[in-house]
Structure 1
Amino acid sequence: MQLKDKSISGFFWVFLDQVGGQLIGFLVSIVLARILFPEDFGLIAMTSLFINIGNTLMDSGLTSSLIRSKENKQIDYATVFYINITVAILIYFLLYWTAPFVAQFYKSPILEEILRIYTLTFIVNAFFAVQKAILVKRMDFKYQLLISIPSIIISGVLGIYLAFVGYGVWSLVYMYIFKSIIDCVLYWILIRWRPTFEFSFPVAKYHLKYGINICFSSLIHVVYTDMYNLFIGRVYNSVILGYYYRANSTKTLIVNNLSTALDKVLFPVFAHIQDDNERLKHVYQRVMQQVFFWICPVLVYFLIMAEPIFIFVFSEKWLPAVPYFQILCLVGILTPIQTYNVNILKVKGRSDLVLRLEYVKKPIFIIGIIISLNYGIMALMWNQVIANLIGLFINSYYSGKMINYTLLEQIKDLSKTILVTIIVGLVAYFLLTTLQISLSPIALILLIALICFCLYLGLSYIIKNPPFLEFNIIFKKLIKSRR
């Protein structure tokens, strides 16, 4: 199968995985949000910094190195496998020992036990990280769909049952642990690769040389991203953090459906053509336009319709999360563009530059967080928008130099989508203010969504927006390939 056809097929399966998995996960989160309280989700958010740090250190960027490497042997996979497990065990015991200090920092004793149990996922995840990387490298996303959907359904049902019978925050903890276990079992059943008893220090050095920079840059990014949870949980309380957690997870759900699907497919695609700058630029240009074409209007719609959506989906007890969600939608629009600019640096083998840029960006962003804390939580939200804009300028400058695709050119390519989105957004706002008194939340959501969707596609067709025309071609090929 040619790389182009493989990419289209891969995107089809990953998109099904993302949409199916996220939709099921979203339905589970709706039920849990109606049963549990904001402070339960706030407690989970307090652990997110430590969970994400542990997962980042466990992987150490080694799976990215496996995906990027043009040729891997059994000893490459075995070496990475044993490194992942060893690091995961060390990180687990480190966090087990530091759990009391974390609980003391947040003034929440229950966090000690939550961390000690929740972090068992590090060890479980380490056992199938290589198998997962093999599937991504092969661009065999059909198997990932067959694994992720059952694990989300089974663990979700367990989480809902435990929440219903009164387990509170523990229903979330056990749900996440059970999901990791199911993923691990299914990866080992469906993927034939097995580790052999061999280890190579030169191979470890080769992958660590690339992976360690990715690891540290990811670590800096994780610490910065979860620092919002850290400060909100410490300066305010678990209830406000629960509202922020719900707003951020809802935004992430929307963004991840498309951007993560494309990211899983395109990183190995970019890796295949990393030495052809002209082709890399062409593929990247089309990807950027396609991602922005779908994410931008969706997030603008959710920004405008946030209040009726939250009332209908999560109930009125979650209304304080609406202002946070609306600002985070602006962040979500910028996120995929940043991600793909960084991916260019990665596939070009410049993980050292990725790390250096994190050293430059994150101190600036942290200063912004500290200053924002003096002006309240809304200032903290707006700081995220400013930080993402700064990050976009920095990332696109260096990636643009490598493939001769500057930020100005990117904005020019996205200008038609921006114009149509603004028009449709204004129409949505007008319809909301006009109809919200006379219609129920669900009727309002569906009617305005239908009008805006038709208007968006109609205007895109009229002005011949390139990503819209490109999507027609991709859609026809997908239909043809399914026959």
Structure 2
Amino acid sequence: MVSESADFKGSEMGGESAAAFGSRVRSAVIWRSGSQILAQIITWGSTLMVIRLLDPADYGLFAMTQVVISFLAFLNGWGFASALVQSDSIDPFRIRQAFGLLLVLNALLAAIQYFGAPIAAAYYGQPIVADLLQVQALMFLATPFIALPEVMMSRALDFRRQAFVNLFAALAGAITALACALAGYGVWTLVYAPIALFWTRAIGLTVVARLLVWPSFDFRGCGQIIGFGSAVLFSQLFWLVQSQSDIFIAGARFEPHALGLYAEALFLAQIFMAKFVPPLNEVAFPAYARIKHDRAAVRWSFLKTVRLVMLVAAPFYCGLAVTASPMVETVFGTKWLGMVPYIQIIALALMLMTVQILFAPLTNALGKPSVSMFSALSGAIMFPVAFLIGAEWGLIGMAWAWLIAAPLLLLVTALLSAPLIGVTLWDVGRAMLPGLAPALVMAVGVGLAAQAIVPIGLAAPGQLVALVALGVMLYGGLLWLLEREAIAEVLRLVRRRQPPAVDAATQDAI
């Protein structure tokens, strides 16, 4: 996420002034993040209604299919299309080549999933998994018509038109989910809703981008696309091994009901990292690519992104950990209270993972996807080993595996990426501190208050409101006392105002 800071007022981005470029990036962030928030409100509204109608076992079966889909999806060619963003220039033939690659790869993936579904069902010992996977193969056929227009509009930092399509697609998915749940479709609700969302996005993005091009299957001369995309592809593979290995390991060891509780706890804990940070990274990647030759701007922008993200992520995750019990009972119902211990542990781990995933867009934009690939490889080794060990203590042991492996992966990623970016571990730690320190103090205060109000017998909704209000006041007060400049920085970003000019020494201290 790149700003318009006066620190860079002398630089030019392809003939565009830094201030004008910063304004475009700000607008892109607002449209992408704003639409994501609205889309999530729509999705969560339907999810909260659907989750009360379905059984945890339905989510356990669905989680089993997601492991297979995720491992195939890393081959969907999105990394090849992303090479168009990182390139300094492109031509129509390269766009046609990228489209051809996307069509070939995704048709193959759909066929592999369809015909290989019985194997996955046999592994889990759940015959219905084969039927679910065969229908879900339809999503791969929509991917080329999503990836290419999205990448091309992202290259131009055009997120406004994407926003409207994404909102309409979220609405289509939400309506489908609610209708299927009310009709008694059970686990099939979780299959049909994403298909409706995917195909709505595919049609909508293709129309608004006016990018229905004729594909080329002549792949000569596309070495840059293949090279960059392959590194991104392997990064995605290693990331999937890291993020899906817990369900893969647990799916064969625990029954669907228990797995459904763990899977939904993980989904809830990942909301911020999985739903709100990726849209920022989508804007950050093309923005970093535009300023990649100005390393001072790159360094400043990265540290500012870490600082601003942690100002939101740290209180969210710390607050989630200490209010998990009344929140789950209020929002999901008493049958989901088994999620609480998992949420409390995993939330703290994902607070660190949120910072870790901010590195990849920058190292990729600098033309070094191998850095994020080796970082992802480290995670693909650490996490499965941790999960295998943790599984000996049940699903709670797997939750603790997240909390052990996450800080180790952040450290490895920072060590690999910092020299390329021009920062130190101390710089990254200082950027995290303004959000992290007040959030931890707030969590202790709210946790003590939660224990104090239990004997009162206050209903779960009342507990949740009281604890959230206390947390907001504590965190806001601590920021006001200790980090007023952080508050001013956020207000400048929201109001689109220029920060005061700073000299080089001050910039180095940021």
Normalising by structure 1, we get a TM-score of 0.95
Q: Deviation string for 1:82-140 (max 9, x for gaps)? A: 11111111111112121111101000000111101112101112222100111211111
Match of 1:220 among 221, 238, 246: 238
CA distance in 2: counterparts of 1:277 and 1:200, whole angstroms = 37
1:283 aligns with 2:301: yes
CA distance in 1: counterparts of 2:440 and 2:228, whole angstroms = 42
CA distance in 2: counterparts of 1:140 and 1:439, whole angstroms = 49
Residue in 1 that maps onto 2:102: 84
Match of 1:442 among 444, 461, 464: 461
1:209 aligns with 2:231: no
Deviates more, 1:384-393 or 1:32-41: 384-393
SS in 2 for 1:139: coil
What is the CA RMSD across the aligned residues, in angstroms? 1.8
Q: Is the 8 A contact 2:101 2:217 kept in 1?
A: no
Residue in 2 that maps onto 1:122: 140
Residue in 1 that maps onto 2:12: none
Q: CA deviation at 1:17?
A: 1.3
SS in 2 for 1:127: helix
State the AA in 1 paired with 2:461.
I
CA distance in 2: counterparts of 1:189 and 1:97, whole angstroms = 32
Runs in 1 of length 4+ with deviation above 6 angstroms? none
Residue in 2 that maps onto 1:105: 123
Match of 1:311 among 321, 329, 347: 329
Q: CA deviation at 1:344?
A: 2.8
Q: CA deviation at 1:43?
A: 0.9
1:474 aligns with 2:493: yes
Q: Is the 8 A contact 2:438 2:478 kept in 1?
A: yes
State the AA in 1 paired with 2:492.
I
Deviates more, 1:373-382 or 1:443-452: 443-452
CA distance in 1: counterparts of 2:418 and 2:25, whole angstroms = 23
Question: CA 1:321–1:478 in 2, change beyond 3 Å: closer, same or farther?
Answer: farther
CA distance in 2: counterparts of 1:323 and 1:454, whole angstroms = 26
Question: CA 1:90–1:113 in 2, change beyond 3 Å: closer, same or farther?
Answer: same
CA distance in 1: counterparts of 2:83 and 2:341, whole angstroms = 40
Count of residues in correspondence between the two structures? 479
CA distance in 2: counterparts of 1:175 and 1:400, whole angstroms = 41
Q: CA deviation at 1:197?
A: 4.9
Deviates more, 1:468-477 or 1:250-259: 250-259
Q: Is the 8 A contact 1:79 1:203 kept in 2?
A: no
1:339 aligns with 2:337: no
State the AA in 1 paired with 2:314.
C
Match of 1:8 among 26, 34, 44: 26
Question: CA 1:203–1:308 in 2, change beyond 3 Å: closer, same or farther?
Answer: farther
Q: Is the 8 A contact 1:280 1:403 kept in 2?
A: yes
Unmatched 5+ stretches in structure 1 = none
Match of 1:139 among 130, 154, 157: 157
SS in 2 for 1:71: coil
State the AA in 2 paired with 1:125.
T
Question: CA 1:312–1:89 in 2, change beyond 3 Å: closer, same or farther?
Answer: same
Q: Is the 8 A contact 1:232 1:240 kept in 2?
A: no
Q: Deviation string for 1:350-396 (max 9, x for gaps)? A: 12233234334422332222222222221111111221111111110
Q: Deviation string for 1:426-468 (max 9, x for gaps)? A: 2211222223434322222223222322332232122234432
State the AA in 2 paired with 1:477.
R
Deviates more, 1:307-316 or 1:381-390: 381-390
Residue in 1 that maps onto 2:472: 453
Question: CA 1:341–1:155 in 2, change beyond 3 Å: closer, same or farther?
Answer: closer
Q: CA deviation at 1:175?
A: 0.9
- 1:343-362 to structure 2, matched below 5 A, reads 343-362=361-380
State the AA in 2 paired with 1:5.
S
Residue in 1 that maps onto 2:11: none
SS in 1 for 2:357: helix
CA distance in 2: counterparts of 1:258 and 1:188, whole angstroms = 24
Match of 2:93 among 75, 80, 87: 75
- 1:368-387 to structure 2, matched below 5 A, reads 368-387=386-405
Residue in 2 that maps onto 1:464: 483
SS in 2 for 1:72: coil
Q: CA deviation at 1:412?
A: 2.4
SS in 2 for 1:194: coil
Residue in 1 that maps onto 2:198: 180
Q: CA deviation at 1:200?
A: 4.6
Residue in 2 that maps onto 1:235: 253
1:29 aligns with 2:47: yes
CA distance in 1: counterparts of 2:417 and 2:367, whole angstroms = 12
Q: Is the 8 A contact 1:293 1:468 kept in 2?
A: no
Q: Which has the higher helix share?
A: 1
SS in 2 for 1:58: coil
Residue in 1 that maps onto 2:506: none
State the AA in 2 paired with 1:309.
M
Normalising by structure 2, we get a TM-score of 0.90
Q: Is the 8 A contact 1:416 1:465 kept in 2?
A: no
Q: Deviation string for 1:321-341 (max 9, x for gaps)? A: 111111111122012211112
Unmatched 5+ stretches in structure 2 = 1-15, 499-510
